[in-house]
Chain A
Amino acid sequence: MRLKMVPDVTTLDFFRHTRLTFGASAVAMVLSIVAFFMMGLNFGIDFRGGTSIRTEAQAPVDIGAYRAAIMPLGFGDVAITEVFDPSFGPDRNVAMVRIQAQEGVEAITPEQINLMREALVAFDSTLVFAAVESVGPKVSGELIRSAIISVVLALAAVLFYIWLRFEWQFSVGAVAALVHDVVLTIGIFSVLQIRFDLAIIAALLTIVGYSLNDTVVVFDRVRENLIKFKKRPLVEVLNLSINDTLSRTVMTSVTTLLALLALFVLGGDVIRGFVFAMIWGVIVGTYSSVFVASAVLLRFGVKRDWSKNSGDTAGTQFGVKEG
């Protein structure tokens, strides 16, 4: 008995509710932007500078007591959060202590770390520093810059590639979908206040890659069907293409999500934020390749007669071409 996620032939109309889906996407994007400006992102030390210490102790984390132990040392703003993970067990209690960048020094000095360790150990003798990370303001500034540059570069490179391989309308559609995905991801990070660090940028770019992968597969089929059905209206051709590829879209999303879910549940708390971003990205990316990228393509319309100048700029298809 075979598992079948999608019937052999589907004839769903993906554009009947364009207004609704477009509206939903637009509202979600606006909300994301509002959340970003209202609540901001919970930047990790990669982008903000400062020091974060992961403590592990046998006694339960007492945030108030930790704070009381550290505050007198005069490191300024101290943020303490407890880290939960189902694998920890009762005698393993993990907390993240974050202090702001210190005046006059880039990274924290060994003396400062020792001061803090002594203060915390005095109050809980089982406590150890499992990891210490410190990033100076100079580097964090550069990290922000290079992160933004890499996201923008990735978008631009992809725009260019799709324009080269398809038509500019496809490019616009693909990038609209990508911007949609990135904005919604930043939005959810801002709403849930998940720590936003360098790894999340990697996740963002992977989302860009994944969403694109999806969009390109649909577009590839659109291009093929446009050649095959020269007379049919664009909306029909788009619908047909999405239906044709639906089974593959679902299969790939499911296998990727299966792998990511395994990481999310079992991969440990260190990369959970990273994996969360990717799961979110796969869901949003799959949605956007249909309801944003294709819908934008429908709005802009597309040149219909591909046969005349096949071989030059437009539609240089890899592989065998069928007449």
Chain B
Amino acid sequence: MLQIPMWKRILIWGTCALALLFAMPNLFYERAERHNDAVAQIEAGQSTAALEADRAAWPSFLPSFLVNLGLDLRGGAHLLAEVRVADVYADRIDGMWPAVRDRLARERALVGAVRRMPSDDPGELRVRIANSDAISEAAGFVRDLAQPTQSMTGFGQARDLEVRVEGEEIVVTLSEAERLATDERTMRLSLEIIRRRVDEAGTREPTIQRQGADRILIQVPGIGSAEELKALIGTTARLTFHPVVNVTSNPEEVPGPRQVIYPSMDEPGLFYVLDQTPVVTGEQLVDAQPSMDQNNRPAVSFRFNPAGGRAFGLYTAENIGNPFAIVLDGEVVSAPVIQSHIPGGSGIITGRFTVEDTSRLAVLLRAGALPAEMDFLEERTGGPELVQDSIDAGKVAAIVAMVAVLGFMVATYGIFGIIANIALILNVAMIFALLSLIGATLTLPGIAGIVLTIGMAVDATVLIFERIREEMRSAKGPARAIELGYEKALSAILDANITTFITALILFAMGSGPVRGFAVTLGLGIITSVFTALLVTRLMMVMYFARRRPKTLAI
């Protein structure tokens, strides 16, 4: 008859107790969160009395996993950026020109003079040689410059360059394999730099994820607006130092070969003609800090690595009295005249900066330059007022829904309604425990998913109860009726829940953002509701039956 072995009982109640234990921190969200933050900071080496007090706010022997609150419940910004990976091809191919020129210069007797031709596609290098009869030999020399592709898995078979002859021109492009490898490197570097920049800004638990081939999803809770976030990560922050050739007020002025013209950042109408090749670049920086110059104006001080320091020292020693341009993202920040030899590789950038500008610039310089520009495809910002409303509304709605369903169940099923209700409460606790354990993010649609689960979770229990009612009518004993009720309802419960679970899976796989959050809570809710309906209610029924031994069930 109705018997459940002891080990099963212990397992079921144990699972329920664990669920309650792991769901509990979410009831004391703020305290547990302060505790977690304090623990993280103390582990990172900081320790103050305030931090210790925060840590003590939550007993450390209790679990402190929390559900992450989504942006719509915490406020913050969401950005989807697309990295212009193709920009990097142009840099790479442009960097090949000196090597190609030098290689062909060695064969001058055969190929004659070498000239670089303009090209519509920045991702290709077009070269023309004087002696066009030797063009296939020349192409061969260039082809020999190709290196094996470096990919994440090591050296591949493929070569990085593709050289072909088009009419009288040799065209050099990156090979398909090299493009892929380059994309991969660009994406990794971009991710890393964005992560460093966001981390430096000190916000909590940012999500920085790669999506697809060339996209990055950035979610930063707590930040005021997407604009702020964009300002932080959208800047390339490419810092270079160039010799100044000329200063002009004519933006149309055509710079000489291998020279560029950049506008001044502070003084509109002023343009600098610079050598295209920088003396040193931001990649060689090891540190940058906001500071003040001798006139107490905000400035950024920086230090180069040894190689950069040497190049910088050498150049300043040779060019005393000449101006020198500091260029940030294609704008001349300042062009001081070199007063003396600057050894040691450190210096200071002054300009019309505010204190905020300098600390932002220092962060950007420290984190390094983005390898390519980004386009923002999607942005979402939620302000704190809206968020508070959403949380309050969600909480109230969830509680009212819960009370309504609980009351309705008791009204319909009496004592068995109470059994169903205990199962329902355990079910919600389990959802929260699982969400906390896997570190899932709860969004507003996610709360809707939970509320829907509250409604639907009783479905399995209702199926069983209705079945028991039916079996009672066919004049079987209560024990037999309970047994049959569970047996016969099983098929319908499983079929019904598996089909809903399939839709949850598809939602999770195909959906993005809020839809996904909804799918997670719905899917977890199905699993836990099957568990509570089939095992927990059954155990409670058996216990009730063993104690009372009723002749009939008032179900």
Contacts and interface: CB of A to CB of B under 8 A. Distances in A.
Interface of A: 2-5, 8-9, 54, 56, 87, 105-108, 110, 113-114, 128-136, 138-139, 143, 146-147, 149-150, 153-154, 157-158, 161-162, 165, 198-199, 201-202, 205-206, 208-210, 212-214, 216-217, 219-221, 224, 244-245, 247-248, 251-252, 254-263, 265-268, 270-271, 274-275, 278, 317-320
A112 to B, nearest CB: 10
Given A106-B375, A107-B378, A318-B491, A274 B500 contact: no
Contacts of B379: 107-108, 132-134
B425 interface: no
B438 interface: no
A105 B514 CA distance: 24
Contacts of A259: 401-402, 404-405, 451-452, 454-455
B158 interface: no
A288 to B, nearest CB: 15
A209 B385 contact: no
A267 B492 contact: no
Contacts of A267: 393-394, 397, 447-448, 451
B317 interface: no
Contact of B503 (A9, A205, A270): A205
A128 B386 CA distance: 11
Contact of A206 (B72, B452, B512): B452
Given A220-B491, A247-B466, A252 B401 contact: no
B377 A136 contact: yes
Interface in B213-232: 225-227, 230-231
A212 B393 contact: no
B515 A198 contact: yes
B408 interface: yes
Interface in B4-34: none
Given A130-B385, A157-B503, A319-B494, 5 more contacts: A87-B393, A108-B379, A110-B230, A206-B452, A255-B408
B456 A319 contact: no
Contacts of A209: 499-500, 503-504, 522
B448 A210 contact: no
A302 to B, nearest CB: 17
A136 B378 contact: yes
B397 A106 contact: no
A225 to B, nearest CB: 12
Contacts of A263: 397, 401, 448, 451
Contacts of B487: 319-320
A248 B230 contact: no
12 contacts: A3-B412, A107-B80, A135-B377, A136-B376, A198-B513, A209-B499, A220-B495, A247-B469, A258-B404, A260-B401, A267-B394, A271-B444
Interface string B454-471: 111011001100100110
A149 B499 contact: no
A248 B462 contact: yes
Given A258-B405, A267-B397, A216 B448 contact: no
Contact of A106 (B377, B495, B515): B377
Q: In which size bucket is the chain B interface?
A: 35 or more
Contacts of A114: 227
A255 B405 contact: yes
Contact of A278 (B80, B397, B400, B452): B452
A157 B473 contact: no
A212 B459 CA distance: 13
B495 A165 contact: yes
A247 B462 CA distance: 9
Given A275-B448, A319-B487, A213 B456 contact: yes
Contacts of B459: 213, 248, 252, 255-256
A111 B385 CA distance: 23
Contacts of B514: 198-199, 202
A207 to B, nearest CB: 9
Contact of B495 (A248, A278, A318): A318
B377 A220 contact: no
B445 interface: yes
A248 B470 CA distance: 11
Interface string B430-460: 0000000000000011011001101110110
B390 interface: yes
Interface string B476-499: 000000000001101110111111
Contacts of A208: 503
Contact of B393 (A5, A136, A199, A268): A268
B463 A248 contact: yes
A110 B499 contact: no
Most buried by A among B390, B488, B491, B509: B491
Nearest to B509: A150
B383 A129 contact: yes
Interface in B197-246: 225-227, 230-231
B226 A201 contact: no
B80 A139 contact: yes
Interface in B342-359: none
The 10 closest A-B pairs by CB, nearest first: A268-B393, A256-B455, A150-B510, A259-B455, A110-B227, A262-B401, A319-B490, A209-B500, A259-B401, A220-B492
Given A154-B506, A213-B456, A255-B455, A139 B377 contact: yes
Contacts of A134: 226, 378-380
Interface string B109-144: 000000000000000000000000000000000000
B190 interface: no
Contacts of A162: 499
B338 interface: no
Most buried by B among A114, A132, A213: A213
Contact of B502 (A54, A108, A154, A266): A154
A2 B386 contact: no
Contacts of B494: 318-319
Contacts of B378: 106-107, 134-136, 139
Interface string B362-395: 0000000000000111111111011001100110
A214 B459 CA distance: 10
B419 to A, nearest CB: 15
Contacts of A256: 452, 455-456, 459
Contacts of A320: 487
